[in-house]
Structure 1
Amino acid sequence: MKIIVISDTHLETDSIPTYLAELFEKYDMIIHAGDFTSTGFYKALEATGKLKAVYGNSDNIEVKNILPETLVFEVEGVKIGVVHRGALSIMDTDPIRYKALEMGVDILVFGHIHQPIIEKSDVLLICPGSPTKPRMSDPSAVELIIDNGTISTEIIEISGQSCSYIDFSRKLSEE
């Protein structure tokens, strides 16, 4: 199964931007680790029939009433957990690893930090970053492929606006 993992979209729209819609067409499932921000964008993603999601801290009350705070489901015998918060930074993933162990999952998808991480130890931790509001990174998502219990992942760079610090540092290196 081909899965696209996203988080922290923070979109105030009732539709999926074209560049994301074209990306989503290539996948069997969309995992969103919270912070849709608007009900309209959540409903647009939900209408694809591919969505598995949790709410994030920036979601409005309507989204929080629809979605769970944590989610566990299985794909081809692989247990996947989804939460929004957990890691404090890309340098401190211990809390989210313990959350994965507590949830009894093989893979834990999380968001909140807006930077992509794929970290493998006794569990696989995935933070897709943000395709629309990255921090200290380019816009991103994670491709997760599960094929007969074999797991592969890849950070995908997405067209869009990088965070202002990244843009600034690139300009400095050009001089």
Structure 2
Amino acid sequence: MKVGIVSDSHGNTNALDAMLQHPAAVDVEAWLFAGDIAMDAEYLEMVTDLPVIKVAGNNDWPMSRLEDTVIAQLGGHRILLTHGHLYGVGFSTQNLVLAAAEQAADIAIYGHTHVADVSIGEVTVLNPGSVARPRDASRGSFMVAELVPEQQPVVQLIRI
């Protein structure tokens, strides 16, 4: 199963449109939206007509009715999806990894830092960076992951 992973669009639907026009996004079957801004996840649902699993980010409080953390089952994997601010990801992903392990998740996805990250371990940790306001490059980014049961995800970081 091919999933798209995006975070931190901050109201920039033009960045989301550019992401969707990238060839890597063409055959994505579902999107994981790691927060900031919740309305952008609704926009993504509307323009793709695909499932969008989404969480609230720190900039969505107090207006969002979204959960801060969601557990999703996709492609034979158990995924913890969160924005990350409640796990202190600006300093370390250790608390996020522990939370994922407690939930028997083998993948943890977060945003918040606007810096892309791929860390392979017992829990694979993914941050797609920011599609609209990157802090690690001049161009925004998103990820595409190929999920196959009982195999490590094959992850591609894409700059738009």
TM-score bin (small chain) = 0.7 to 0.9
SS in 2 for 1:147: coil
Q: Distance in 1 between matches of 2:104 and 2:110?
A: 15
Q: Distance in 2 between matches of 1:45 and 1:18?
A: 9
Q: Distance in 2 between matches of 1:16 and 1:42?
A: 13
Contact 1:7 1:33 in 2 (8 A): yes
Q: Which aligned pairs between 1:17-166 and structure 2 lie closer than 5 A?
A: 17-23=16-22, 24-36=25-37, 39=39, 41-47=40-46, 48-59=49-60, 61-62=62-63, 64-65=64-65, 67-85=66-84, 86=87, 87-89=89-91, 92-137=92-137, 138-150=139-151, 151-158=153-160
SS in 2 for 1:58: helix
Contact 2:6 2:34 in 1 (8 A): yes
TM-score by length of 1: 0.77
The gaps in structure 2 that reach 5 residues or longer are: none
Contact 1:107 1:123 in 2 (8 A): yes
Deviation at 1:12, TM superposition (A): 5.4
Deviation at 1:147, TM superposition (A): 2.5
Contact 1:5 1:31 in 2 (8 A): yes
Specify which structure has the bigger relative contact order, considering alpha-carbon pairs within 8 angstroms and separated by 6 or more residues. 2
Q: Identity of aligned pairs, percent?
A: 25
Match for 1:125: what amino acid? Answer: V
Match for 1:88: what amino acid? Answer: G
Residue by residue over 1:96-129, the C-alpha shift from the partner in whole angstroms, topping out at 9 and shown as x without a partner, is 2112112220101011000000101211000110
Larger radius of gyration between Structure 1 and Structure 2: 1
> Relative to structure 1, is the Cα distance of residues 94 and 60 closer, same or farther in structure 2, using a 3 angstrom cutoff?
closer
The RMSD of aligned alpha carbons is 2.0
Residue by residue over 1:117-145, the C-alpha shift from the partner in whole angstroms, topping out at 9 and shown as x without a partner, is 01012110001101111113342111110
TM-score by length of 2: 0.83
- Equivalences, count: 151
